[in-house]
Amino acid sequence: MSDKPLVYLVGNPNAGKTTLFNRLAGVRARTGNYPGVTVERRTAAWRAGPHAAELVDLPGTYSLSARSPEEQIAVDALLRDAPAVVVVVLDGTSLERSLYLALQVCETGLPTVVALNMMDEVRASGMDVDVDVLAARLGADVVPVVASRSEGLDALTAAVAARLDEQRLEEERATDTPTDAPTDAPTDVPTDAPTDAPTDTPTDAPTDDRDQAALPSAGEPPAGRPAPPAPVLGAEAEADVEAVARVAADVLKAPPRLARAWALWALLSLDRDDELHDVPAALRAIAQARHEAADAAGRDLDLELVAARYALLDQLISDAVRPGPPKPRLTDRIDAVLVHPVAGLVAFAAVMFVVFESLFRWSEPAIGLIEEGIAASQGWLRGVMTEGPFRDLLTDGVVAGVGNVLVFVPQIALLFLLISFLEDSGYLARVAFVIDRVMKSVGLHGKAFVPLLSGFACAVPAVLATRTIASRKDRLVTMMALPLMSCSARLPIYVLVTATIFPADTRVGVFSVGAVVLFSMYSLSVAATLGAAAVLRRTAVRGPRPTMVLELPPYRLPVLRNLVGTTWDRVKTFLVDAGTIILALTIVLWALLSFPKSADVGARYEAERAAATAALEGEALDERLAALDAAEAGEQLEHSIAGRLGKGIEPAIEPLGMDWRMGVGVLGAFAAREVFISTLGVVFGIGEADEESSPLREQLRDATRRDGSKLMTPLSGVALMVFFVLACQCMSTIAVVRRESGSWKWPALMFGYMTALAYVVTLIVYQTGLALGWGLG
């Protein structure tokens, strides 16, 4: 843990907490107008006046009653760590909801500053918030801010600095020791206490280091600050809280106010079905015992505790908030269409068609420039370097492999930009609401929408995002199905195959064929995900139908800076992660595709070159030598290690419409899908080498099988895309599922069912197409 004082940002999901974190710390964490974007704590160095501090962005939580792993991160940080200051971020437009958490934090006695966010929307609505009344009732500074515009951040920083100053003064006073104090003054342990007296930790309490972590000293508020309020409980509920608080103080060495906060947390969070970790056994036992006693007496202890706090909250809202005049909101008029059970789905389909159309139309000029740059780079290297293995490695390995992935960066950037726009505007929360009925019918929790949507970018953070789901079974079924969502690594494959098998000017109605193919592949991936979830929920991960309560945020105009920053971060991550993997594997694949070489083949072609040189001259000789070079490269490729592996699996993949060269690409893609295109670049760059390298899609378009038929037909191309929609080809995803599930059982099941599904469905697609006479050419 850092030696700097910790300043925690805590708040409800979608309250603007991460935006505030970005503006204060000058960093760029991901933000979104959707609940539950942050699933892990983020930290950054921050200066609050004269104080160098560590600013920590905690996952959003509606209360300190943890029910999901990401809520437990926030609760653990507040109650176990030693934050110097807690900044509670409130959504000023929804104080009835967000003040509940603020009251709980203030009850702990931790030094607290309240950031009243989105005050521009508060003013626009005509609502009036009395900041002084809020501050007096909460016992904390309340600072109005607009995080997205950096309004009020200086005042917020000054308030945090003031709390840090107060703590420093208290620490200095605590360390001042009277000069006349005797050096042998007795401790506070009686002199007649036996030396072997037991400690005050129960014998059944765990010895986990986390349970003995340093806890903040939550004493009386500093002079001049009112004590924060406490809910008024009935006698029986108060007795339950005091009983649990005594155990919390004993086991966790917590001071009285913090022990009471622990007690309220335990009574509202711990039951026989919770999945919370690192909870002292004694604390869990006393909480469950008090609940069982209350149930036996016919009392609803949860309701008693929550109702008492809401009574306090209602009074606070009544005194501090004056609602604005009622008026029809634009949000309500738009929602009448976008959350309609039928119109909402139609609108979503239309939006996605526009997204995919833009991916083809807007990115094509940039793709053409990159392809020309790759070809020029290869030609330049061939011109300035001496012929040999090292030149071949650079031109056919590194440039061809990495370059054939860079060519798709414009489309990936556009996809991330458009999804970020839809997310920040608040539209994607409406989509989640509309499709919740469908998701519930297949056994997916409504909160699974965020991980599934994240799967369009990358399955690894999507699996991590399942932490927002409280139930372990709901998390498992989501993480087992979401790798079927078409991630950004699949997009270049769809684009390459589509550009290869369909002419660029082909249209389907008003849309380009590329947009229609992309829409079809993404629709297939969504359908496969939902179908897999339905089967898993009824077989390997049985459980009841989940329910969801979803907050629909107001529509907001996305901030351009956030859109560009988020898009750049995602593209950079893709390039760094994919580039590292691709560069390493491309070098390995080039070696596997280049060696060993057959001496007999080399000698035969050398004799043919000599004969051609003797018989021909000029342009005819150049053409003949180029043809011999290409033929020799193709034949040597078949003798290479990778060529032999491809030929070994060819009997299994030939019924899917692939030959051994595609098989080499598929084998490489099992490490990471990004490698598929770079592998094809190496395979066809070596096998069909010429002096001026042509784009990969042209090489694929001209490729033939042994019988002279075209390798890439519309049917074989569609079958190949279907295979990549369904196959599990990402080692990183397997690793993260292992970590999140805690067992190899689940990733093994995921890999097995996805691979089998991909093979069977691709086989059906290709063989059915052959039987109907489609796609032959």
CATH number of 163's domain: 3.40.50.300
Question: What is the pLDDT of the chain when averaged over all its residues?
Answer: 81
754 in any annotated domain:
no
Pairing of strands 128-129, 321-322: antiparallel
Pair (143, 253) in one structural domain:
no
Q: Whole-angstrom Cα distance, residue 82 to residue 217?
A: 8
258 in Cβ contact with 218 (< 8 Å) = yes
Single out the residue in 505, 540, 560 at which a domain terminates. 560
727 by DSSP, 3-state: which?
coil
Among 175, 191, 118, which Cα is nearest to 151's?
A: 118
Checking if the pLDDT of 213 tops 90, the result is no
| pLDDT tens figures, 509-529 | 778 888 889 899 999 999 999
Pair (4, 69) in one structural domain:
yes
Q: Starting at the edge strand that comes first in sequence, how are the strands of the sheet with 6-11 ordered?
A: 42-48, 51-57, 6-11, 85-91, 112-117, 141-144
Pair (268, 410) in one structural domain:
no
Single out the residue in 528, 545, 560 at which a domain terminates. 560
Element spanning 380, H or E = helix 364-384
Q: Whole-angstrom Cα distance, residue 660 to residue 641?
A: 12
Alpha carbon 326 to its chain centroid, in Å, reads 38
Pair (220, 244) in one structural domain:
no
pLDDT value at position 549? 60
Cis peptide before 596 (omega within 30 of 0): yes
Cα atoms in the 13 Å half-sphere on the side-chain side of 238: 6
Interhelix angle for 472-481 vs 731-741, to 10°?
170
* Length of the chain (residues): 777
696 confidence band (pLDDT: 50, 70, 90) = confident
Checking if the pLDDT of 746 tops 60, the result is yes
Q: Among the listed ranges 403-412, 699-708, 751-760, which one has the minimum average pLDDT value? A: 403-412
Single out the residue in 560, 593, 617 at which a domain terminates. 560
595 in any annotated domain:
no
The token pair that represents 452 in the structure block: 């599934």
**Alpha-carbon distance values, 133 to 140, 226, 315, 510 (Å):** 11, 12, 12, 59
Pair (20, 77) in one structural domain:
yes
Pair (299, 313) in one structural domain:
no
| pLDDT tens figures, 48-102 | 989 999 998 887 788 877 666 666 777 777 777 778 999 999 999 888 888 989 9
Alpha carbon 522 to its chain centroid, in Å, reads 19
Q: Count the domains in the chain.
A: 3
90 in Cβ contact with 99 (< 8 Å) = yes
Q: Name residue, tokens 């309020």.
A: 229
DSSP 730-768: BHHHHHHHHHHHTSSHHHHHHHHHHHHHHHHHHHHHHHH
Pair (358, 217) in one structural domain:
no
pLDDT value at position 200? 39
Pick left, alpha or beta for residue 176 (phi over 0 → left; psi -120 to 50 → alpha; otherwise beta). Answer: beta
Among 198, 309, 214, which Cα is nearest to 255's?
A: 214
Most confident segment among 321-335, 582-596, 653-667: 653-667
Contacts of 537 (CB under 8 A, 6+ apart): 442, 443, 444, 477, 543
537 in any annotated domain:
yes
574 in any annotated domain:
no
Pair (278, 310) in one structural domain:
no
Q: Which residue range is the domain that position 115 belongs to? A: 1-226+306-325
**Alpha-carbon distance values, 207 to 269, 352, 556, 768 (Å):** 22, 53, 49, 63
**Alpha-carbon distance values, 632 to 571, 624, 636, 689 (Å):** 39, 12, 6, 10
Q: Average pLDDT for residues 492-521, to the nearest whole number?
A: 85
46 by DSSP, 3-state: which?
strand
Most confident segment among 32-41, 105-114, 241-250, 351-360: 241-250
